[in-house]
Copies of this chain bind each other. A is one copy, B any other.
Amino acid sequence: MTFAEENYLKTIFYLEQEATEGVSTSAIADYLDTRAASVSDMLQKLAKKELIEYKKYYGAILTHNGRNHAILVIRRHRLWETFLVEKLHFGWEEVHEVAEQLEHIKSEKLINAMDKMLGYPKIDPHGDPIPDANGNFTKIEKRLLADCEEKWTGTIVGVKDTSSDFLKILDRKQINLGTVFYILNKEKYDGSIRLKIEDESIALSQKMASNIYIKVISMQNSE
């Protein structure tokens, strides 16, 4: 299994969760920042290897085999990210890029030893679940901050965008996993949100709010 193939499988896995039908060529091209033509080629290759089911013009879904491999790559990615934060004291904004490389290292013994060393962590530095050695992981209860309403109280449980650019902004605003907030205001016009975090008032655009996952603590005014 090549790096490119693994990246496609991982991408299809992500996009499958949101899509109802098969994952479309253009969705994959978008996510991987490649051209549709390249994706079309690769989908045919993955189909021939029975890692996906693919009907021309109707997108792809993972086979049992394909899904297992995608989950393995995600397991590797998230364990490496956890290692970088827990053992090497990287910031959560620095780990994704390196993990994109490390996730392709092939050694079952290595990844299971890492898992053990880290104490079998259940979530990664961005709040995403880490599949165990059997590929099992629990779905984390969460919703987008952008879908919340005024006067709700909640806590940050994850981020959708794990890019350095985005996470640095969150750091600057003192927003981390576990941070508790109260929604002071939600602007109908542009969807921007104003939070209260530890007595500070913090403004977030709609775009930012739709890249932050939260868990609702209360839907009542607790002020």
A residues sitting closer than 8 Å to B (CB atoms) are 84, 87-90, 94, 97-98, 101-102, 105-107, 109-110, 113-114, 117
Which one of B88, B97, B102, B105 lies within 8 Å of A113 (CB-CB)?
A: B88
Docked pose: A110 CA to B88 CA in angstroms: 8
| A/B interface sample: 16 pairs, CB < 8 A | A84-B110, A88-B113, A88-B114, A88-B117, A89-B113, A90-B109, A90-B113, A94-B109, A97-B107, A98-B105, A98-B107, A98-B109, A101-B105, A101-B106, A101-B107, A102-B105
Docked pose: A106 CA to B102 CA in angstroms: 10
Main secondary structure of the interface of A (DSSP, over half): helix
**Which of chain B's residues have a CB closer than 8 A to the CB of A87?**
117
- How near does chain B come to A1, taking the closest CB pair, in angstroms? 13
- How near does chain B come to A62, taking the closest CB pair, in angstroms? 25
- How near does chain B come to A115, taking the closest CB pair, in angstroms? 10
User: Closest residue of chain B to A94, judged by CB?
Assistant: B109
Task: Give 7 nearest A-B pairs by CB, closest first.
Answer: A88-B113, A98-B107, A101-B105, A98-B110, A102-B105, A88-B117, A87-B117
- How near does chain B come to A12, taking the closest CB pair, in angstroms? 24
**Which of chain B's residues have a CB closer than 8 A to the CB of A97?**
107
**Which of chain B's residues have a CB closer than 8 A to the CB of A94?**
109
- How near does chain B come to A97, taking the closest CB pair, in angstroms? 8
